[in-house]
Amino acid sequence: MTASAEPEIVSSQKCFGGTQSVYRHHSTETGTSMRFGVFLPPQASAGPVPALYYLAGLTCTEENFIVKAGAQRVAAELGIALIAPDTSPRGLAYPGEDDAYDFGTGAGFYVDATEAPWRVGYRMASYIARELPALINAHLPIDPARTGIFGHSMGGHGALTLALKYPDLYKSVSAFAPIVAPMRCPWGEKALGLYLGPDRAAWQAYDATALVEARGWAGPPILIDQGTADPFLERELKPDLLREACAARGVALTLRLQDGYDHSYFFIATFMADHIRHHARYL
């Protein structure tokens, strides 16, 4: 993919010796203006650094991670760039786009939609895996050969599915409270049905458990943290389904059940350093 024009800086602040910036650009995949956050560690002033993409969950923008996750300190220590895209296109004005928190605006589910009208614009899988990295690699001091991906909830689903589908792009993957089997939970069944249509065979490309069963994963261990007090644990997240699939395929999975933690950014911030250090070992 040819990189588009240099992105516009919306804001930039010095942070732990590096810079925390927000950029805006026009996306050809979504047909809209898209924003993304980038933390560049101080080491980036001397040359390209590895990058870790963070995919946020339902209702979020790029700002949630930047402000709430507490990730910049350890990223600066380890010399890793943090990239935080938005969770959907915004402003396409499709009927129903803003009617629910779990579909449409803020809920792109990191798929390339095939159903009308969503197939025009709701192409977050291609945006995250292709268009955004091409843009960033062309204009920022990032080493494209050292890229990892992680995320939370819907974003954990996105991180897992993209890593499993594109192991050439991502050297490491982890997640906080991910939706590991969207084909078997209400959030996923709603989103995949509306974005991809009724043929459940088409949904398998966006289901981490199904992808592990079909493809495995030859990369380093997958790290997942899951709070035991998460209100969505049994109905929506179902980490045991992924654990069973990984065991059957011989995929290395570290699934840590964190006693008393919920689904919030307090949980994410508590274990963020562990995840960044996990990725740093392989990037």
Query: Sign of dihedral through CA atoms 97, 103, 108, 111?
Result: negative
- Cα–Cα distance measured from residue 242 to residue 157, given in angstroms and rounded to the nearest whole number: 11
Is residue 127 a contact partner of residue 136, using CB atoms and an 8 Å limit? no
- Cα–Cα distance measured from residue 89 to residue 215, given in angstroms and rounded to the nearest whole number: 29
Instruction: Report pTM.
Output: 0.97
Give the pLDDT of residue 4: 59
Give the pLDDT of residue 5: 82
Is residue 125 a contact partner of residue 112, using CB atoms and an 8 Å limit? yes
Instruction: Tell which residue, 31, 115, 144, 15, has the closest CA to residue 71.
Output: 15
| Residue 218 burial (C-beta neighbours within 10 Å; 0-12, 13-18, 19+) | exposed
- Cα–Cα distance measured from residue 17 to residue 43, given in angstroms and rounded to the nearest whole number: 9
Please report which helix (H) or strand (E) contains residue 192, including its range.
helix 186-196
- Cα–Cα distance measured from residue 112 to residue 110, given in angstroms and rounded to the nearest whole number: 7
Per-residue pLDDT of the chain (283 residues; tens, 9 = 90+): 345 589 999 999 999 999 999 999 999 999 999 999 999 999 999 999 999 999 999 999 999 999 999 999 999 999 999 999 999 999 999 999 999 999 999 999 999 999 999 999 999 999 999 999 999 999 999 999 999 999 999 999 999 999 999 999 999 999 999 999 999 999 999 999 999 999 999 999 999 999 999 999 999 999 999 999 999 999 999 999 999 999 999 999 999 999 999 999 999 999 999 999 999 999 9
Enter the tokens of residue 87.
């969770």
Beta bridge partners of 281: none
Which residues are annotated as catalytic? Answer: 153, 230, 263
Residue 114 main-chain phi, psi, to 5 deg: -120, -10
Enter the tokens of residue 172.
């490491």
Angle between helices 239-249 and 208-215 (to 10 degrees): 0
